[in-house]
Amino acid sequence: MNPCPDSFPTLIKRPSAFLPIAMSIAALLLLGIVAASQGLARASDEGAVAHIWQLLMAGQLPLLVYFLIRWLPRLPRPAVWVVALQVAAATAAMAPIYVLGL
C-alpha cells in the first residue's frame, strides 16, 4: 500500500477519515430508528439512546484531531475535503436534536 496517498479517494479509505463519517451516520440512524419506533417525545431523563448518541458524537473528536495532525500537513487539499465531509456528517447528525429541541 502506498504510505502517502495523493488523492481524495485513497485518503478517504483511511480509518481516521471514514470512521467519523460512519459514526455520524450511525448516530443519525439511531435517531431515525428511535423516532420511528418510539416517537420524538422529550423525556424527563435521558435514556440509553441519548447516551449512545453522545458517545458516538464525542468519540469522533479524537479521530478528527488525529486525522488533522496526520494528514493536513502532508496533503492539505484532499484532507480539507475529508474534514468537510466529516463536519457535514456531524452537522447532519446534530441537526435533528437542534431542530426538534430534543
Domain ranges of the chain: 15-38+45-100
> What pLDDT does residue 8 have?
83
pLDDT averaged over the chain? 89
Give percent of the chain with pLDDT exceeding 90: 64
Q: What band does 101 get if pLDDT is binned at 50, 70 and 90?
A: confident
Which residue bears the cell 440512524?
29
- How far, in Å, CA of 97 to CA of 43, rounded? 13
Give percent of the chain with pLDDT exceeding 70: 88
> What pLDDT does residue 100 have?
79
pTM of the model: 0.87
Residue 94 contacts residue 31 (beta carbons within 8 Å): no
Intra-chain end-to-end CA distance of the chain, in Å: 44
| Three-state SS at 100 | helix
Task: State yes or no: pLDDT of 6 exceeds 80.
Answer: no
Maximum separation of any 2 CA atoms in the chain, in Å: 52
Task: State yes or no: pLDDT of 57 exceeds 60.
Answer: yes
Residue 87 contacts residue 22 (beta carbons within 8 Å): no
Each residue's pLDDT tens digit, 58-82: 999 999 999 999 999 999 999 999 9
